[in-house]
């Protein structure tokens, strides 16, 4: 089960179902919204698994209120809040990476072993909270032995038009630590182990500051970057294309980590800056995907997700542009204040972000920028410098700015900090309106142009809704041509409704 984002089909629930099916069981993916709103949705099932991230906990708990069956199990990144999940009604929490924890838990359900023998499990019994921790991260052999369910894609609304995520890298190479003081008073002692120590030494901090950017849980929960075998990725993409999926995103905390771990194996890839990207492996992957007939013809789009700006150079940008021109790529700026940027634990510098935007745009990609407001260490001055950096990135070719509100996630260095108010009610108000203005102007530049889009379905007013192809604003179709979900249309953009939505008219299919 999952809580949905309208046009995204993530990796997690498909992987969980793939593990369950791979071990001889049957299951289905159901959206949390349906479980809560549609009576009888959960009838007939023996076990309830709910996968989500920490912000999804309340949605997960609402599902429990509608469950009348056997054991209820929580998992996914929200497992770090196991005490909350168990106290609010879940019977079990599966912890860590599903490939190692879930098979053991299924043996518990089959009564082959008892709970205390299942590593990576939390539960409550008569003696209270029980926790059987699993230390370390899955090896590549453990990690890639299961295949995400393909059929699960059809459980989602608008699946033919949605962005379907295919995992290519697990974990992240950024094992730098933030230098800001933490909520409990700990502060970096500048031993420099995480920045200049051996790859093995970087895993452990002498004062136990979690690795990575202070706001991000990926390195701590999912470990160093490990690349999925190319044959598995290509096979999964081909199956999704055969099913009728139109938009595929190669999912990774940093796509440029793909194959970098091969260059240091068997050591862990815990350096976000060295070695440089493994362009040989990247090109092999993109070339094979690009040779799929539907991708070659332009009927299916393949995109990447995120990249670290510090790994981008002319050769990297040229390679990506050769296969991915016209598709978006996300780059983390987070803060435009140079000192604040580094103090957060970022592996890059602000000038590297701007340079990456420039190079990627030069080679035909469409850079999107991430920014976070309310971070620890934020001041009026850091906001002003962030606004300047955003303007610089915009001039360099960024097309969209995504502004997030800081969330103090459990398991991160910034756990325990107070969540900030919404941007419009904080010192970030000018930043919010700058982002809104730039994003709206970006949509207005589309007015009068003809772009391709893929039909997603109808809205409540029976208007056809399309997603830009390969990616871009949501388009509400003004004329009444009948179109099937998944069909690709050519649409003239008529008017900008908001920074996310435009109106358009079909000119041909």
Q: DSSP class of residue 306? A: E
**Same domain membership, residue 245 and residue 124:** no
- Residue pair 165/10 in contact by the 8 Å Cβ criterion: yes
Q: In this structure, is residue 144 part of a structural domain?
A: no
**pLDDT at position 2, please?**
38
**Same domain membership, residue 464 and residue 362:** no
**Same domain membership, residue 128 and residue 38:** yes
**Same domain membership, residue 317 and residue 212:** yes
**Same domain membership, residue 221 and residue 107:** no
Q: In this structure, is residue 393 part of a structural domain?
A: no
Q: In this structure, is residue 443 part of a structural domain?
A: no
Rg from Cα positions in the chain:
23
**Same domain membership, residue 238 and residue 195:** yes
Q: DSSP class of residue 374? A: S
> From CA 260, how far away is CA 483, in angstroms rounded?
44
Domain boundary, last residue among 352, 367, 382: 367
**CA distances for 355 relative to 34, 256, 389, angstroms:** 44, 16, 11
280, 287, 327, 336: which is closest to 307 by C-alpha?
327
**Same domain membership, residue 295 and residue 188:** yes
The separation between the first and the last C-alpha atoms of the chain, rounded to the nearest angstrom, is 35
- Residues 321-345 as b or e (16 or more Cβ within 10 Å = b): bebbeebbbbbbbbbbbeebbbbbb
Domain boundary, last residue among 332, 367, 402: 367
Beta bridge partners of 496: 502
**Same domain membership, residue 221 and residue 101:** no
**Same domain membership, residue 162 and residue 91:** no
DSSP track, 222-233: H-S-EEPPHHHH
**Same domain membership, residue 217 and residue 102:** no
CB hemisphere CA count around 469 (13 angstroms):
26
- Per the structure, the complete domain to which residue 19 belongs is given by 8-134
Residue 27 sits in a domain of what CATH number? 3.40.50
**Same domain membership, residue 291 and residue 343:** yes
**CA distances for 404 relative to 2, 48, 349, 374, angstroms:** 21, 31, 20, 9
Residue located via tokens 């459990």: 410
Q: In this structure, is residue 43 part of a structural domain?
A: yes
Q: In this structure, is residue 437 part of a structural domain?
A: no
Domain boundary, last residue among 367, 383, 415: 367
Q: DSSP class of residue 126? A: T
Residue 211 sits in a domain of what CATH number? 3.30.750.210
Q: In this structure, is residue 351 part of a structural domain?
A: yes
Residue 284 phi/psi, 5-degree rounding, is -60, -45
Q: In this structure, is residue 213 part of a structural domain?
A: yes
The angle formed by the CA atoms of residues 291, 293 and 297, to the nearest 5 degrees, is 105
Q: In this structure, is residue 234 part of a structural domain?
A: yes
Domain count along the chain: 3
pLDDT in tens for each of the 509 residues of the chain? 434 346 899 999 999 999 999 999 999 999 888 888 887 888 889 999 999 988 889 999 999 888 988 999 999 999 999 999 999 999 999 999 999 999 999 999 999 999 999 999 999 998 899 998 876 789 988 999 999 999 999 999 899 999 999 999 999 999 999 999 999 999 999 999 999 999 999 999 999 999 999 999 999 999 999 999 999 999 999 999 999 999 999 999 999 999 999 999 999 999 999 999 999 999 999 999 999 999 999 999 999 999 999 999 999 999 999 999 999 999 999 999 999 999 999 999 999 999 999 999 999 999 999 999 999 999 999 999 999 999 999 999 999 999 999 999 999 999 999 999 999 999 999 999 999 999 999 999 999 999 999 999 888 887 889 999 999 899 998 876 677 899 999 999 999 998 889 999 999 86
**Same domain membership, residue 162 and residue 125:** no
């Amino acid at each position: 089960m999952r809580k949905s984002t309208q046009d995204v089909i993530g990796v997690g629930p498909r992987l969980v179902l793939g593990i369950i099916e791979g071990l001889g069981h049957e299951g289905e993916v159901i959206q949390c919204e349906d479980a809560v709103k549609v009576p009888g949705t959960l009838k007939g099932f023996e076990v309830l698994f709910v996968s989500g991230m920490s912000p999804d906990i309340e949605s997960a708990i609402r599902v429990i209120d509608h469950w009348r069956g056997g054991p209820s199990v929580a998992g996914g990144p929200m497992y770090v809040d196991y005490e909350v999940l168990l106290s609010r009604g879940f019977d079990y929490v599966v912890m860590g990476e599903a490939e190692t924890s879930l098979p053991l838990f299924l043996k518990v359900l089959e009564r082959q072993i008892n709970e205390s023998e299942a590593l990576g499990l939390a539960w409550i019994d008569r003696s209270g909270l029980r926790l059987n921790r699993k230390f370390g991260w899955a090896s590549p052999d453990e990690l890639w032995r299961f295949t995400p369910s393909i059929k699960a894609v059809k459980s989602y609304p608008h699946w033919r038009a949605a962005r379907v995520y295919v995992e290519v890298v697990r974990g992240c190479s950024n094992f730098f630590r933030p230098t800001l003081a933490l909520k409990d008073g700990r502060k970096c002692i500048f031993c420099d182990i995480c920045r200049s120590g051996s790859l093995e030494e970087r895993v452990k901090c002498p004062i136990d500051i979690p690795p990575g950017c202070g706001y991000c849980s990926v390195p701590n929960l999912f470990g160093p970057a490990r690349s999925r075998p190319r044959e598995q990725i290509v096979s999964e993409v081909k199956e999704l294309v055969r099913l009728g999926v139109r938009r595929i995103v190669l999912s990774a905390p940093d796509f440029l980590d793909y194959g970098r771990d091969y260059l240091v194996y068997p050591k862990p890839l815990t350096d976000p800056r060295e070695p440089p990207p493994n362009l040989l492996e990247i090109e092999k992957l993109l070339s094979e995907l690009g040779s799929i007939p539907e991708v070659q013809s332009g009927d299916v789009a393949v995109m990447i997700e995120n990249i670290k700006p510090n790994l981008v150079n002319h050769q990297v940008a040229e390679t990506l542009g050769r296969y991915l021109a016209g598709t978006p790529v996300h780059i983390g700026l987070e803060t435009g204040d140079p000192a604040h940027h580094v103090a957060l634990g970022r592996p890059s510098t602000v000038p590297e972000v701007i340079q990456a935007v420039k190079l990627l745009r030069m080679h035909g990609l469409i850079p999107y920028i991430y920014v976070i407001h309310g971070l620890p260490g934020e001041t009026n001055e850091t906001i002003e410098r962030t606004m300047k950096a955003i303007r610089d990135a915009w001039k360099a070719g960024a097309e969209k700015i995504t502004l997030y509100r800081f969330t103090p996630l459990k398991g991160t260095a910034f756990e325990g900090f107070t969540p900030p108010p919404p941007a419009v009610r904080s010192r970030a108000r000018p930043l919010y309106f700058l982002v809104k203005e730039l994003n709206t102007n970006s949509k207005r530049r589309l007015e009068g142009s003809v772009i391709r889009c893929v039909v997603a379905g109808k809205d409540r007013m029976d208007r056809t809704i399309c997603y830009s192809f390969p990616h871009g604003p949501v388009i509400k179709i003004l004329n009444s041509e009948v179109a099937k979900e998944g069909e690709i249309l050519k649409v003239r953009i008529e008017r900008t409704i908001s920074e996310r939505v435009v109106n358009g008219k079909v000119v041909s299919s």
